[in-house]
């Protein structure tokens, strides 16, 4: 059996343990919140960067498409001009028939091949730019995953830990309390009138 001072110390010790558990829980919650803020900021920055890169690539794609259109139109105009000059030259030289037709067909065919080459080059360039976008997206996902989310401490575990500490403290204090002794030291002799056999 311990005195009141020891019991009081045990109560204070239990309270200190519970306070420490509370502080640990709150600190863990604050760390988780700070980590979540870092995760969200990193994700936001990654998406902003990805959006800017997508914008640049989309602009490049539009420019390449517009340039291809202009180049094909230029080839078409050049071919028409050549065909016109060829007709004039043939007329001035008195050339007619298949010879003129073959010459014009050659000019037209060369222009068509040029336009086909322009389309092929455009498709290759657009494909390259599209792969760049995919690569940028993969890099953005990796950047986002490089910062983990905060893991909040378990409130259930916290409550259970506090309850366990409180229960142990209460048990320790209870074990220090004086035990009640049996009331009366002498045993009953059993010689009273209630123990006598009643006979008529």
The predicted structure's pLDDT at residue 78: 93
Based on the structure, what is the number of domains in the chain? 1
Domain hosting 82: range is 50-146
57 is a domain residue: yes
pLDDT score of 187: 45
114 is a domain residue: yes
87 in a structural domain: yes
**What pLDDT does 11 receive?**
66
Share of the chain above pLDDT 90, in %: 40
pLDDT at 87: 84
pLDDT recorded at residue 30: 83
Per-residue pLDDT of the chain (200 residues; tens, 9 = 90+): 455 666 566 666 777 777 777 777 788 888 888 888 999 999 999 999 999 999 999 999 999 999 999 999 999 999 999 989 888 888 877 777 787 788 889 989 999 999 999 999 999 999 999 999 999 999 999 999 988 887 776 667 767 766 776 666 566 656 665 555 444 444 444 444 444 444 44
pLDDT, position 182: 45
Instruction: Look at residue 65 and tell me if it is in a domain.
Output: yes
Question: Would 24 be classed as within a structural domain?
Answer: no
In a domain, 91, yes or no: yes
**In a domain? residue 5:** no
Does 95 fall in a domain?
Answer: yes
**pTM, entire model:** 0.58
Q: Which residue has the tokens 């009081």?
A: 8
């Amino acid at each position: 059996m311990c005195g009141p001072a020891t019991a009081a110390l045990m109560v204070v010790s239990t309270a200190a343990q519970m306070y420490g558990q509370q502080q640990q829980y709150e600190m863990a919650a604050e760390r988780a919140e700070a980590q979540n803020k870092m995760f969200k900021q990193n994700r936001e920055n990654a998406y902003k960067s990805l959006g800017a890169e997508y914008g640049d690539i989309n602009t490049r794609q539009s420019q390449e498409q517009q340039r291809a259109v202009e180049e094909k139109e230029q080839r078409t105009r050049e071919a028409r001009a050549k065909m016109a000059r060829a007709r004039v030259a043939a007329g001035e030289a008195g050339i007619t028939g298949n010879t003129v037709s073959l010459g014009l067909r050659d000019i037209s065919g060369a222009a068509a091949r040029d336009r086909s080459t322009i389309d092929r080059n455009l498709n290759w360039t657009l494909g390259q730019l599209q792969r760049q976008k995919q690569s940028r997206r993969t890099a953005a996902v990796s950047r986002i995953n490089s910062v983990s989310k905060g893991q909040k401490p378990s409130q259930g575990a916290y409550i259970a830990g506090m309850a366990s500490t409180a229960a142990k403290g209460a048990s320790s204090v209870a074990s220090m309390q004086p035990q009640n002794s049996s009331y009366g030291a002498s045993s009953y002799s059993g010689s009273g009138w209630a123990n006598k056999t009643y006979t008529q």
